[in-house]
A and B are shown apart, each in its own frame.
Chain A
């Protein structure tokens, strides 16, 4: 299984809503990542978890809250988002030796 899965594929939410994005991998990778990608731009790193501990937070606003319940799952909790947070949110995981990151299909988020 060389797949990273993400749910939901699409999400529309209001600025007062609370929602969560989910990511799952079963490749035994011990590092997992959240990226934000705006149209025609490269992905921007948000968070990195290594061995289920948060190792990098790229000064992301607190309205984004990551969680790593176990080595296969990664969540991103969303609260009080702004319209400019609308983007494609990508999850990735990496092999501990090769360091190659495998990306999920992304969640297309629209904040109204």
Chain B
């Protein structure tokens, strides 16, 4: 069964600290993995997208890693800011899947305190 599991479910950190969010998936055959940031009541915004051959991709203070062998990904946030408070969703698509068929994790709710 194609699934995406994220941990932790929620996380509280102090402003300026770093954190790492985890994503494990069983989607097969794998096509790509995306991390989205979703502010409360808003649509998800894409942070990174990685294909099978990529193992690291950065977008400013966000760095995503992918280990396609162990089917794990992480999102590392450095020097956190109050505006980083949001839900971070891991989304995986399968190669050759029906158009639009994405597998969503439940997200990690990150709260950054001053």
The answer to whether A50 and B43 have CB atoms under 8 Å apart is no
- Residue of A with least CB distance to B44: A103
- A42 and B87 alpha carbons, distance in the complex (Å): 10
Of chain B, the residue at the smallest CB distance from A4 is B43
Q: Are A90 and B104 in contact (CB under 8 A)?
A: no
Instruction: Known contacts A45-B102, A56-B98, A99-B93; decide if A106 and B41 are in contact (CB<8 Å).
Output: yes
- List B residues at the A interface (Cβ < 8 Å): 31-32, 34, 36, 41-46, 49, 89, 93, 98-102, 104-107, 109
B43, A94: Cβ atoms under 8 Å?
no
* Also in contact, A42 and B104, with CB within 8 A (given A50-B99, A100-B34): yes
A-side interface residues toward B, CB under 8 Å? 4, 6, 31, 33, 40-43, 45, 48, 50, 55-56, 88, 90, 92, 94, 98-106, 108
CB distance from A35 to the nearest CB of B (A): 9
Task: Tell me whether chain A's interface is mostly helix, strand or loop, or mixed.
Answer: strand
Interchain nearest-CB distance for A55 vs B (Å) = 6
Complex Cα–Cα for A6 and B89 (A):
21
Closest 9 pairs between A and B when the two form their complex, measured CB to CB: A42-B104, A103-B43, A48-B100, A106-B43, A103-B44, A105-B43, A104-B43, A90-B43, A105-B42
A55 to B99 CA separation, bound complex (whole angstroms):
8
What B residues does A4 contact at CB under 8 A? 43
Q: For residue A6, which residues in chain B have a CB less than 8 angstroms away from its CB?
A: 43
Q: How far is the CB of B20 from chain A (nearest CB, A)?
A: 20
Shortest CB distance B102–A (Å) = 7
Evaluate whether A56 and B100 lie within 8 angstroms (CB atoms) in the complex, with A100-B34, A106-B42 already known.
Answer: yes
Known A99-B32, A99-B93; contact A45-B101, beta-carbon cutoff 8 A: yes
Kindly list chain A residues whose C-beta atoms are within 8 Å of the C-beta of B43.
4, 6, 90, 92, 103-106
